[in-house]
């Protein structure tokens, strides 16, 4: 279940209420079932490349729909956990406010992560995205990403191309402490 924290301390857990709060940013948020065919793989802490491909194939019904509706061309599965070498270096690329030239599309299949957003009025919110939740952050949206204290996430990443993935940092400061450091 997604959790939205706002600067004023209010917390929302209803997907409809969260979607309404994120509507000015045009962020897509949905619940997608992973299904039993990939459950045993998702229960593992780490996955081999072959096991990652098995998960992707097991979830390709969503990829096929995204290809047809939005023109996505590729997907991969990222597996992050506390034993991943250089995890902190990897995460440091995304824990500051930035944008991307392309949409950032994630389907969280295990674990959880936090996307923070700068809204058009300058206020900020943090969304904890959990298993079976799909998020589409539109290109140009000021945001940041970090892991929760559980320090693990498995996420399918969907791509329209390969060029728009370099973070473009903004000078916007994050106004409140994230759950990662709380």
pLDDT tens-digit profile of 27-54?
Answer: 999 999 998 989 999 999 999 999 999 9
Examine residue 147 and state whether it is found in any structural domain, yes or no.
no
Examine residue 41 and state whether it is found in any structural domain, yes or no.
yes
Please give the residue that has the higher pLDDT: either 32 or 161. 32
Examine residue 164 and state whether it is found in any structural domain, yes or no.
no
pLDDT for position 166: 85
Examine residue 166 and state whether it is found in any structural domain, yes or no.
no
Q: What's the total number of domains in the chain?
A: 1
Examine residue 146 and state whether it is found in any structural domain, yes or no.
no
Examine residue 152 and state whether it is found in any structural domain, yes or no.
no
Examine residue 102 and state whether it is found in any structural domain, yes or no.
yes
* Residue carrying the six token digits 């900020």: 124
Question: Does 182 score more than 60 pLDDT?
Answer: no
Which structural domain, as residue segments, surrounds residue 50? 3-141
pLDDT in tens, 97-141: 999 999 999 999 999 999 999 999 999 999 999 999 999 999 999
pLDDT in tens, 76-92: 999 999 999 999 999 99
Mean pLDDT, the chain, rounded, equals 92
pLDDT for position 54: 97
Examine residue 157 and state whether it is found in any structural domain, yes or no.
no
pLDDT interval class at 178 (50, 70, 90): low
* Percent above pLDDT 70 for the chain: 96
The CATH number of the domain holding residue 94 is 2.60.120.10
């Amino acid at each position: 279940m997604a959790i939205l924290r706002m600067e004023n301390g209010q917390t929302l857990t209803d997907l409809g209420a969260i979607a309404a709060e994120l509507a000015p940013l045009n962020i897509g948020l949905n619940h997608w079932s992973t299904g039993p065919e990939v459950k045993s793989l998702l229960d593992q802490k780490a996955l081999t490349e072959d096991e990652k491909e098995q998960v992707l194939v097991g979830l390709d019904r969503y990829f096929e729909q995204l290809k047809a509706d939005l023109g996505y061309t590729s997907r991969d599965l990222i597996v992050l956990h506390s034993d991943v070498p250089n995890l902190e270096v990897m995460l440091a690329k995304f824990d500051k406010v930035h944008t991307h030239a392309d949409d950032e599309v994630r389907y969280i299949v295990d674990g959880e992560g936090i996307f923070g957003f700068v809204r058009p009025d300058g206020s900020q919110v943090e969304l904890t995205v959990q298993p079976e939740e799909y998020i589409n952050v539109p290109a140009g949206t000021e945001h940041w990403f970090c892991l929760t204290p559980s320090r693990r996430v498995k996420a399918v990443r969907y791509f329209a191309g390969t060029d728009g993935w370099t973070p473009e940092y903004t000078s916007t400061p994050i106004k409140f402490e994230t759950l990662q450091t709380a």
